[in-house]
Structure 1
């Protein structure tokens, strides 16, 4: 390692970042955000755990409950982030991760919408607008459950369906990944 660094710095006049530089098995190293995965059929690549963690953190920042932005703007920002991320990491194997991330992200979006509706009257009005009968809308709008709990419950899954989220502007990221991955 020392001779390699010496050659790079003295002969090629390059600066070497000693924190990122290392010699080791490619199966145990991260390279350009990917890690190598040996399988029975050969070798595959997938995004490194840090890359997955970073995209989830960015999505968490975009869907924070106190941002005070319209849902259309939030969905547009999510679309921009995920389009770039999927186009870069789409070559990797991550079908299960994308399915889980898609479910988690839809729950975050439902939570954001429920938080925006704020008081029970607005919740009731919007639930009725989404096709829930008045008695159920009254019951559900006055629930004692917290925002995160309601986002997983039948209340929002029946009213804010996947079809309604798509109508609002949400693009299913697991389908987008499958499309991009199939082109490689």
Structure 2
């Protein structure tokens, strides 16, 4: 690093930002939100820091959406997800996108569970979404938290990915697949 910095400073008259610059393996660094994999065949992937920033943005939007309809929250999420995926369309890994999709759906189920507040409301909403009466009642009074219930089988059955897609939620994997067709 010292040799590179000296060359850039003395020969090219460039200033080097020590906080941003480093000499390291490619998979240990990120560039414009991307990183590369360690495997024999290197592949372009989304840097972990970029995924953390997206999660923070989605969390913020979901927290703001707690007092409004789920459709409105999805409307606010849609441009963020589309824009983020358009920027990262060159990624070659799909696992991070699948995990982020599942996490977003679970966040939306958390919002629904919290909006339903009382066990009777939860049971009636779960019944309206297709669960039988006994299972809906047992699920609504289980005493677990919203995050646990959002990932539990009764909520996934009541609000599957297709249901949320019909409400307008876009899938990062689907957008990535569409963008790859055109490149």
In the other structure, the counterpart of 1:136 is: 135
Q: 2:63 aligns to what SS in structure 1? A: coil
Alignment RMSD (CA, Å): 2.4
In the other structure, the counterpart of 1:74 is: 73
Q: Residue 115 of structure 1: CA displacement?
A: 0.7
Q: Residue 117 of structure 1: CA displacement?
A: 0.8
In the other structure, the counterpart of 1:157 is: 156
Within a 5 Å distance, the mapping from 1:23-172 to structure 2 comes to: 23=23, 26-37=26-37, 39-41=39-41, 43-64=42-63, 67-172=66-171
The TM-score, its normalising length taken from structure 2, stands at: 0.82
Q: Residue 38 of structure 1: CA displacement?
A: 5.9
Distance 1:48 1:70 in 2: 33
Q: Residue 113 of structure 1: CA displacement?
A: 0.7
Q: Residue 70 of structure 1: CA displacement?
A: 2.1
Q: 2:36 aligns to what SS in structure 1? A: strand
Aligned length: 178
Q: What residue ranges of structure 1 are gaps of 5+ in the alignment?
A: 10-14
Q: 1:60 aligns to what SS in structure 2? A: helix
Cα pair distance change 1:37/1:8, threshold 3 Å? farther
Distance 1:92 1:63 in 2: 26
Distance 1:130 1:93 in 2: 36
The TM-score, its normalising length taken from structure 1, stands at: 0.82
Distance 2:19 2:99 in 1: 32
Cα pair distance change 1:24/1:158, threshold 3 Å? closer
Q: What residue ranges of structure 2 are gaps of 5+ in the alignment?
A: none
Distance 1:59 1:76 in 2: 12
